[in-house]
Amino acid sequence: MTMPTKIPEFIWGRKYPKIAIDMEKCTVPFLCKKCLQICPEGVFHVTRVMSKEKRLEEMDPRIDGNYVLFATRRDKCTGCNLCIDVCPVDAIKIEIPAMERLRPDVSGEQWTSQ
Amino acid sequence: MCFMCEQFGDPEHGDGIWYLNPRNYARNMYKLRAPGEGFKGAEVGLETGARAGPSHQDLMNAVENNDKAEFERIREILQKTGQGSMVVPRDDADRVLELCSPIALMSCICRKGIRAIDERNEREYTCMGMGVGMLKWERWPERYKGGVKFVNADEAIEWNHEMDDRGFVHILMLFGAPFIGGFCQCDYPDCGSLRNGVDFGLGVLKSHYLAQVDYEQCNGCGICAQRCQWGALKFETTTGKANIDQFKCFGCGLCHTACPREAISLVRRDTVPAVAEVWL
């Protein structure tokens, strides 16, 4: 099956922000949930640790290390640093790549960095 | 005509609309997993609930690497496996709920992941599982913490209207097209499916309808303007009335159900030629 689609206008080749989360410090993200709820773009994602043995078990989010935090949608991160300010254990580091000024490429259809 | 209806509709049921064809709720979503093997993944195509295939992470990497060919390849795989969803207005959703059994309310996995919202009882549930898959829910205790609540059609419709009042978009979830396995109440950015659709142009199909404003009736109260999730409806300052961009409208009908003066109507998408084939 092919679904007819429209491609959104991406800026090809741009680098997205890199978000590092220190697992040693961030141990109970599902209970803390401060960064998850403050992020305007909903960048973070919390999920349980996936392992084959525990696949069919219920895991208690109150126990250290059962749930982990990921920056799944880092393409939407704006670098506003709200999550860094709110984090009680200082576990989040954001590295914003150098942003180039964008201008319209008159020969093509989309915006490019030049 | 809708390309999904062409392939999966049945003229004898629901005017040929694919999601009103009872067959699409009856397929066993697990049957194509070979005994002793895991999910085969995307290469199998439509035949699997491909969970092992590529994800939006791979799409992001392709954008970063400036690799349009790779991006198209991944997008094609994701589409081929039918891991999509379709927006339906409230009243069509009611017809679906009358059609499908069993149906069960459950917690939303997207809100749990993105906002850490734990829905633990039947008053909080915002998601619905449909079809034979729900009979196996106990096999995944982590997914269905707190259990599920099996409901009948009347309870489900009441719940659906309640969710519509809260302002959620109604979405039918495909688990390998055309099998419909879920009915979600979504909003951006909490919903993973909507995010893939809006951010990457992937997966979310627009509904069979479009919202249109009757300018004679509209008094510019602005109630509808808060409900649009798609950036299609805005309050047009010049005329002092609501304005809907027909190319952006997903036809979810939230503005239609909210309007106190019945100034916004839903028309069939195929009656508007320029957007009749705009599904994404």
Nearest residue in chain A measured CA to CA from B198: A8
Nearest residue in chain A measured CA to CA from B6: A1
**What's the N-to-C CA distance of chain B in angstroms?**
15
Same structural domain for residues B192 and B245? Answer: no
Same structural domain for residues B226 and B213? Answer: yes
Element (H, E) at B149: strand B149-151
Same structural domain for residues B214 and B253? Answer: yes
pLDDT at B47: 36
Residues in contact with B47: Cβ distance below 8 Å, sequence separation at least 6, in sequence order: B32, B176
Same structural domain for residues B109 and B181? Answer: yes
Helices (H), chain B: 3-8, 23-26, 56-64, 68-80, 90-99, 109-115, 153-166, 192-200, 254-258
Amino acid at B220: G
What ipTM describes this predicted complex?
0.78
Same structural domain for residues B259 and B171? Answer: no
Q: Identify the CA nearest to B244 among candidates B267, B261, B260.
A: B267
pLDDT tens string, chain A, 114 residues long: the values are 333 444 445 677 778 889 999 999 999 999 999 999 999 989 999 988 776 677 677 788 888 888 889 898 888 888 899 999 999 999 999 998 877 665 555 565 555 554
Same structural domain for residues B152 and B134? Answer: yes
Residue B242 lies inside a defined structural domain of this protein:
yes
Q: Which of B205, B236, B258 is the last residue of a domain?
A: B205
Residue B47 lies inside a defined structural domain of this protein:
no
Same structural domain for residues B163 and B224? Answer: no
B79, B112, B115: residue with CB nearest A3: B79
Q: Which of B205, B221, B238 is the last residue of a domain?
A: B205
Residue B99 lies inside a defined structural domain of this protein:
yes
Q: Does B37 touch chain A (CB under 8 A)?
A: no
What is the Cα–Cα distance from B27 to B61, expressed in whole angstroms? 35
| Alpha-carbon distance A45 to nearest alpha carbon in chain B (angstroms) | 5
Instruction: Convert A80-91 to b/e letters by CB count within 10 Å (16 or more is b).
Output: eeebeeebeeeb
Same structural domain for residues B191 and B117? Answer: yes
Cα atoms in the 13 Å half-sphere on the side-chain side of B252: 33
Same structural domain for residues B179 and B217? Answer: no
Q: Does B113 touch chain A (CB under 8 A)?
A: yes
Same structural domain for residues B215 and B188? Answer: no
Q: Which of B184, B205, B226 is the last residue of a domain?
A: B205
A56, A58, A73: residue with CB nearest B195: A73
pLDDT at B48: 38
Residue B128 lies inside a defined structural domain of this protein:
yes
Q: Which residues pair with B184 in a beta bridge?
A: B127, B171
For the segment(s) A18-50+60-113, the CATH number from 3.90.190.20, 3.30.70.20, 3.40.630.10, 3.40.630.30 is 3.30.70.20
CB-based contact B85:B171 (threshold 8 Å): yes
Same structural domain for residues B108 and B156? Answer: yes
pLDDT at B79: 67
Output the six-digit token pair for B176: 């390998």
Domain that residue B230 falls in:
209-275
The number of distinct structural domains making up chain B is 2
Amino acid at A39: C
CB-based contact A21:A91 (threshold 8 Å): yes
Same structural domain for residues B200 and B92? Answer: yes
Question: pTM score, two decimals?
Answer: 0.83
Interface-testing mutation among B76, B114, B248, B249, with chain A (most A C-beta atoms within 10 A) = B114
Q: Identify the CA nearest to B126 among candidates B84, B77, B181, B169.
A: B169
Q: What is the mean pLDDT of each run of 10 residues along chain B (280 residues)?
A: 80 85 68 48 38 72 87 76 80 91 88 87 87 78 80 94 93 78 87 80 84 93 89 90 90 93 92 84
Amino acid at B18: W
